[in-house]
Amino acid sequence: MPELPEVECLARAVREETRGCRFTGVNFLRPDLREPMPVDAIKSALVGANLRSVRRRSKYLLIETDRGTAILHLGMSGQLLSMDSPDPVKTHTHVIFELRRKDSSAAPQNDGGKPKYLHFVDPRRFGRLTAVPAGTDLSTHPWLSKLGPEPLEITADALAEHLWRKSRGRKPAVKPFIMDGAVVVGVGNIYASESLYLAGIRPGRAAGRVTRQEYRILAQAIQTVLGAAIEAGGTSFRDYLHSDGSEGSYALQLNVYGRSGEACRKCLSPVRETRHLNRATYFCGACQK
């Protein structure tokens, strides 16, 4: 499942790919994903409108124009791929966005003002797509209103204090606690395991038993891991690809995730695997307390 680093990398790539463009069409190949898509609202926000920005909030891609904002979630298996064709190239293509440069005469020689196409591909159809009119306060949207802070947009000290306060009296394990988007966004399964390993905290410890000092270390670890993953282009497992179809390389840097039975990179003890809320969890029993 694409997590914060993957969606951040995708936002940056799409922003660069579509710089100076306007939407000229949206083709819906089906009316629903996880839920029905408001086709008219999406077309109203995009078609004929100039693209203003492409950014990320949690795992949502926000595509803002001068008429509104489309809100896109990739779900478990979604991809947003740049293609040369207005026709579906990959199986399970559900939405195709068409864009052109606002001033085709200013386009590079090899571009020629040709349209660009973004294909939303989602084999499992857990993705979501909607849109709101310009001027809407996105923080009040039902998909976004209950989200916690962005871990890379506040200081490590502020993140640590926030986690410590939120965790007081919490009996559930610290790993699902930091994966809760209402607590802090974007720390998905891979990066939760990696952050807790770097911080030396066992993932099964009760969140309320982690000390303030340990949360300081964990906050720094979260920011380090997420920052490194973004620099590496994210982690490609199964479905995640960049908009150009390439893979992220952070998988080469993973310390524990997916390495059950292999030697810990610090102490050579075998990496162990367990489950929290039915999600695979990896840790070193010697290094993490």
In the predicted model, is pLDDT for residue 106 greater than 90?
Answer: no
Alpha carbon separation from 185 to 58, 148, 178 (Å, rounded): 5, 6, 8
**Residue with the larger pLDDT of the pair 283 and 5:** 283
Q: How confident is the model over 138-155, as a mean pLDDT?
A: 97
Judge if 132 and 165 occupy the same domain: no
Q: Which residues are tagged catalytic?
A: 2-3, 59, 279
Judge if 62 and 127 occupy the same domain: yes
Pairing of strands 60-65, 51-57: antiparallel
Q: Is residue 289 part of a domain?
A: no
234-253 pLDDT, tens digit per residue, is: 764 444 444 444 554 577 78
- Tokens for 202, please give them: 């066992």
When divided into structural domains, the chain yields a total of 2
48-62 pLDDT, tens digit per residue, is: 999 999 999 999 999
Judge if 16 and 127 occupy the same domain: yes
Judge if 131 and 8 occupy the same domain: yes
Q: Is residue 146 part of a domain?
A: no
Judge if 125 and 33 occupy the same domain: yes
Judge if 32 and 132 occupy the same domain: yes
Judge if 121 and 245 occupy the same domain: no
As a whole number of angstroms, the distance between CA 137 and CA 140 comes to: 6
Q: Is residue 222 part of a domain?
A: yes
Judge if 22 and 69 occupy the same domain: yes
Judge if 11 and 134 occupy the same domain: yes
Pairing of strands 128-133, 68-73: antiparallel
Domain that holds residue 39: 4-140
Q: Is residue 131 part of a domain?
A: yes
CATH number at residue 243: 1.10.8.50
Judge if 12 and 120 occupy the same domain: yes
Judge if 124 and 63 occupy the same domain: yes
pLDDT class of 130 with cuts at 50, 70, 90: very high
Token match 């571009």: residue?
111
CATH number at residue 63: 3.20.190.10
Judge if 24 and 84 occupy the same domain: yes
Pairing of strands 93-101, 79-83: unpaired
**Which amino acid does the sequence have at 198?**
L
Q: Is residue 210 part of a domain?
A: yes
